[in-house]
Amino acid sequence: MARELQNSIDSKYVHMETLEAKFKLSFTNEQYDHAKQYVEDMKKHPKRVYWLGKEGKSDKELIVSQIVHRILSGFYNNYDPSFAKKQILELSTAL
**pLDDT, tens digit, for every residue of 63-90?**
999 999 888 887 665 667 777 778 888 8
Rounded distance between C-alpha atoms, residue 23 and residue 39, angstroms: 22
User: Taking 90 as the threshold, does the pLDDT of residue 45 lie above it?
Assistant: yes
Which pLDDT score, from 0 to 100, does residue 85 have? Answer: 76
**pLDDT above 60 for 92:** yes
Report the alpha-carbon distance of residue 83 to residue 26 in Å, rounded. 11
Q: How far apart are CA 51 and CA 17, in angstroms?
A: 24
Residue 92 amino acid letter: S
CA distance 32 to 38: 10
**pTM of the entire predicted model:** 0.69
Q: Distance between CA atoms of 51 and 42, rounded to whole angstroms?
A: 8
